Amino acid sequence: MSSFPFRACEETPVFLAPMAGFTDACFRKLCREQGCTWTVTEMVSAKGLLYGSAKTAELLQTAPEERPVVMQLFGREPRLVAEAARRIADEHGPALVAIDLNFGCPAPKITGNGEGSALMLEPLLCGRLVEAVSAACSVPVSVKIRKGFDHEHENAVEVARICEESGACMVSVHGRTREQRYTGHADWNCVAAVKAAVRIPVIGNGDVCSGADAVRLKALSGCDGLMIGRAALGNPWIFSEVRAALAGEPYTPPDAETRMRLAIRHARMTVEAKGPHGVIELRKHLARYISGKREAAALRARLNTAKTLGQIEEILLDTCEKR
């Protein structure tokens, strides 16, 4: 079993969680600049990769500034997932810090195929997937799990133990069940229970929305690192805030102009990387940058009708001038 390189990070590592449709290379680069220790790609279908899907291959493109990166796979057939992992390791080896297996995605189109968090219902299959991938490549293998599938199947400890025994080098735990998806509150006691049950590093995930949250989760659970997802959208500075809080240092949040300037840079990077279609993809990100601003609804309506990068820049610059 290869180990995750925690020694390469002197402080508590803070990960950007994989979020389909959001954590592309452009956004991951911005998060790294703000202090994110390691990023994780959007989840990649093992079958899609093996069948030559251009869109799937695109998800594995990384920027030099964010390397090494964790690449995440999903699937339920050990042989196919192992072969996909081997290809990733062969093609992206120098850029990789680990291959992560997704046992946590709650999306119906994923769980409906028995993948993602549906695998929490099959702990032994989770183990076989980890074992197959570990045997197929020398890259460290980690897993991302949830508290369980539903209230009747809260088995994060069982799944984590099986994954550890099968060769996993690290486990990230989201303290909600698949049934909860992103509602209610994350159960940080679940993270603590997993930490007490395994010897490999445990990463706590769920409801880390501030530096204070990060300090509380680490203190309560004893987790080795933290993973931040939705709280980073429109706010990559969350990583600077968390690192400052963990170090006991003061933190000054960005002012409105700094936020808009980064949103403009994000827009330019995306259009440069993806072409005109990037304008449409940006809408979900830009809505997060302006969240909480005065007249946010009107701004969002204007951004959603923008057809060019120039129009986006004009709208965002206008918000700076009117602040």
Going from the C-alpha of 41 to that of each of 10, 23, 67, 190, 320, the distances in angstroms are 23, 6, 11, 25, 32
3-state secondary structure of 172: strand
Please tell me the distance from the alpha carbon of residue 156 to that of residue 173, in angstroms, as a whole number. 8
Smallest CA-to-CA distance from 133 within 106, 102, 99, 162 is with 99
Please tell me the distance from the alpha carbon of residue 259 to that of residue 126, in angstroms, as a whole number. 41
32 φ, ψ (degrees, to nearest 5): -65, -40
Please tell me the distance from the alpha carbon of residue 74 to that of residue 6, in angstroms, as a whole number. 24
Beta-carbon contacts of 79 under 8 Å, excluding residues fewer than 6 positions away, are 132
Going from the C-alpha of 274 to that of each of 64, 215, 270, the distances in angstroms are 17, 37, 6
137 catalytic residue (yes or no): no
Counting every residue written for the chain, the total comes to 323
The two three-digit tokens of residue 265, written as one number:
């840079």
Please tell me the distance from the alpha carbon of residue 203 to that of residue 146, in angstroms, as a whole number. 12
Q: Catalytic residue, from 26, 31, 36, 105: name it.
A: 105
DSSP H helical segments within the chain, as ranges? 25-33, 46-50, 54-58, 78-92, 108-111, 123-136, 156-165, 188-197, 211-221, 238-247, 256-274, 278-289, 296-305, 309-321
Beta partners for residue 202, in sequence order: 171
Smallest CA-to-CA distance from 103 within 237, 205, 28 is with 205
Q: Which amino acids are annotated catalytic?
A: 105
